[in-house]
């Protein structure tokens, strides 16, 4: 087994989200400041929580789910009510408010619904007990996410092992950040790489190409930061450089995350992902979507029904520049996600196993059902 103590130390340094031990605040790393500044902030009011999700201080589908669970647990603990019905009325209002922060990642709604079900299940218990148990449930969601990523990583690692040829690194491309910063520990798309290190691979045994991921630069600011810190050979490229790189033969596999997978396997992920999938298909490169089962939305039949978040135009025109880089008043198209057609996906890696088309049948076989 490889020595991954440096990676573990890095994971500890950048823990995405935790609850303070005295249950007074949800504590997150502010991802908008990375990679230059590692700063943790406390979220105490529901407005701060909503804003942190909306502004991507915390982001990535699984991390949004864990954060939402902690946030609703904290808000619930502060509800002053004398009976369950009045407690639940406020709980629902807080839940609906948090759910309105971002529309695409289904993990947000999944985690909030799970917390809701927990509250309802315990409705005959004393309110103090229910409040305590909601904290326990949020911890469970966090702990489960660690194991889910690990399982995805083990399956992805087997793919890497099959691709490994003596003396040559395996070329991997990824888009956006589906790494430790997007989850509770290993990431989803990055988990195979971290598991490979555990199995004794050197960082030079793989070469990960990170798409910069315009406009919010999750690949540049987050994924390349993570992988570089883990000692994995990492190259950053602008999104429009993927084609020339794939054509060069340096990429053997693509791993990406996802925000919502429809029943038919269509997968919403960060804007630009579907373009990478189309290129991979053209060049004959396997393209895998790494998906916790909580990201698979069996109630959404196809990608056409997945709501796509539209974001502010200043993210494109001025956010990253000293001066604006487009004329005042210009119209801007800024969808945060796109949907990769299931026909372009080689396989969807869940924590329960690998899925191949037809995806609805494969999901059902693994016991993934509408929630
Ligand atoms: O807008 P973001 O940064 O929240 O988008 C994140 C992604 O698209 C990730 O790839 C996805 O959430 C999967 S994270 C394991």
Q: Characterize the bridge pairing of strands 296-297 and 260-262.
A: parallel
Asked whether the predicted pLDDT for residue 306 surpasses 80, the reply is yes
Mean pLDDT of 295-323: 97
The answer to the question of residue 370 being in a domain is no
- Shared domain for 194 and 68, answered yes or no, is no
pLDDT in tens, 103-162: 999 999 999 999 999 999 999 999 999 999 999 999 999 999 999 999 999 999 999 999
Asked whether the predicted pLDDT for residue 35 surpasses 90, the reply is yes
- Shared domain for 61 and 169, answered yes or no, is no
Return the CATH number at 352: 3.40.50.10470
Question: 323, 309, 328: which is closest to 216 by C-alpha?
Answer: 309
Average pLDDT, the chain: 97
Ligand 1 pocket test, candidate residues 58, 267, 270, 294, most atoms within 8 A of CB: 270
**Cis bond upstream, residue 340 (ω within 30):** no
The answer to the question of residue 195 being in a domain is yes
The answer to the question of residue 157 being in a domain is yes
For residue 272, the CA-to-ligand 1 centroid distance in Å is: 12
The answer to the question of residue 292 being in a domain is yes
**What was the pLDDT predicted at 370?**
85
Q: How many domains does the chain have?
A: 2
Asked whether the predicted pLDDT for residue 281 surpasses 90, the reply is yes
Query: Pick from 144, 166, 196: which residue ends a domain?
Result: 144
- Shared domain for 127 and 165, answered yes or no, is no
**What was the pLDDT predicted at 199?**
97
SS3 label, residue 340:
strand
Mean pLDDT of 60-65: 98
Q: In whole angstroms, give the CA distance from residue 58 to residue 49.
A: 9
- Shared domain for 233 and 334, answered yes or no, is yes
CA angle, 92 as apex, 83 and 20 as ends, to 5°? 90
Query: Pick from 109, 127, 144: which residue ends a domain?
Result: 144
The answer to the question of residue 253 being in a domain is yes
- Shared domain for 87 and 123, answered yes or no, is yes
- Shared domain for 167 and 125, answered yes or no, is no
- Shared domain for 140 and 175, answered yes or no, is no
Segment 45-51 long-range contacts (CB within 8 Å, at least 24 positions apart)? 46/71, 46/75, 46/94, 46/97, 46/98, 49/75, 49/98, 49/101, 50/97, 50/98, 50/100, 50/101
Mean pLDDT of 76-89: 98
- Shared domain for 137 and 154, answered yes or no, is no
Ligand 1 pocket test, candidate residues 176, 189, 260, most atoms within 8 A of CB: 176
The answer to the question of residue 214 being in a domain is yes
The yes-or-no answer on residue 259 being catalytic is yes
The answer to the question of residue 53 being in a domain is yes
Query: Pick from 144, 162, 178: which residue ends a domain?
Result: 144
Asked whether the predicted pLDDT for residue 84 surpasses 90, the reply is yes
Q: What is the pTM of this model?
A: 0.97
For residue 134, the CA-to-ligand 1 centroid distance in Å is: 26
Cα separations (Å) of 89 from 74, 77, 78, 97?
16, 14, 13, 13
179: CB partners within 8 A, 6+ apart:
60, 187, 189, 190, 222, 223, 226, 227
Ligand 1 atom closest to 105 (CA): 12
pLDDT in tens, 288-304: 999 999 999 999 999 99
SS3 label, residue 168:
strand
**What was the pLDDT predicted at 267?**
98
The answer to whether 331 and 260 have CB atoms below 8 angstroms apart is no
- Shared domain for 206 and 278, answered yes or no, is yes
Ligand 1 atom closest to 292 (CA): 15
Return the CATH number at 96: 1.20.120.420
Range of the domain at 52: 5-144
Instruction: Write out the two tokens for 249.
Output: 């033969």
- Shared domain for 189 and 293, answered yes or no, is yes
- Shared domain for 119 and 202, answered yes or no, is no
Asked whether the predicted pLDDT for residue 167 surpasses 90, the reply is no
The answer to the question of residue 371 being in a domain is no
pLDDT in tens, 227-265: 999 999 999 999 999 999 999 999 999 999 999 999 999
Catalytic residue among 94, 205, 259, 266: 259
The strand order across the sheet containing 170-174 reads 233-237, 206-211, 170-174, 253-256, 287-290, 347-350, 353-355
For residue 63, the CA-to-ligand 1 centroid distance in Å is: 9
**What was the pLDDT predicted at 166?**
84
Please count the residues of the chain: 371
- Shared domain for 231 and 115, answered yes or no, is no
Neighbours of 117 (CB within 10 A): 12
SS3 label, residue 293:
helix
**What was the pLDDT predicted at 326?**
97
């Amino acid at each position: 087994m490889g020595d991954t103590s440096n990676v573990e130390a890095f994971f500890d340094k950048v823990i995405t989200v935790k609850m303070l031990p005295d249950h007074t605040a949800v504590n997150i790393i502010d991802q908008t400041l990375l990679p230059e500044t590692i700063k943790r902030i406390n979220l105490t009011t529901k407005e701060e929580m909503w804003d942190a999700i909306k502004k991507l201080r915390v982001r990535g589908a699984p991390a949004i789910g864990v954060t939402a669970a902690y946030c609703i647990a904290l808000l619930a603990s502060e509800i002053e009510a004398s009976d369950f019905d009045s407690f639940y009325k406020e709980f629902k209002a807080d839940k609906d408010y948090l759910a309105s922060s971002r529309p695409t990642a289904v993990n947000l709604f999944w985690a909030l619904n799970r917390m809701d079900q927990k509250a309802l299940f315990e409705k005959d218990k004393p309110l103090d007990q229910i409040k305590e148990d909601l904290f326990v449930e949020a911890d469970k969601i966090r702990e489960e996410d660690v194991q889910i990523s690990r399982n995805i990583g083990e399956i992805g690692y087997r793919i890497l092992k099959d691709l490994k040829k003596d003396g040559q690194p395996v070329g991997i491309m990824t888009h956006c950040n589906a790494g430790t910063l997007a989850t509770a520990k290993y990431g989803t798309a990055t988990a195979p790489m971290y598991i490979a290190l555990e199995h004794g691979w050197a960082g030079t045994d793989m070469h990960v190409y990170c798409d910069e991921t315009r406009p919010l630069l999750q690949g540049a600011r987050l994924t390349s930061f993570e992988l570089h810190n883990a000692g994995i050979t990492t190259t950053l490229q602008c999104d429009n450089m993927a084609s020339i790189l794939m054509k060069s033969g340096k990429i053997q596999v693509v791993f990406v995350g996802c925000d919502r997978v429809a029943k038919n396997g269509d997968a919403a992920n960060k804007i630009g992902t579907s373009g990478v999938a189309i290129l991979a298909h053209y060049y004959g490169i396997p393209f895998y979507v790494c998906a916790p089962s909580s990201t698979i939305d069996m109630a959404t039949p196809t990608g056409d029904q997945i709501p796509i978040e539209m974001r502010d135009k200043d993210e494109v025109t001025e956010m990253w520049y000293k001066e604006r880089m487009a004329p005042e008043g210009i119209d801007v198209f800024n969808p945060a996600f796109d949907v990769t057609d299931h026909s372009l996906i080689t396989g969807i890696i869940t924590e329960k196993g690998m899925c191949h088309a037809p995806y609805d049948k494969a999901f059902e076989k693994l016991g993934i059902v509408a929630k």
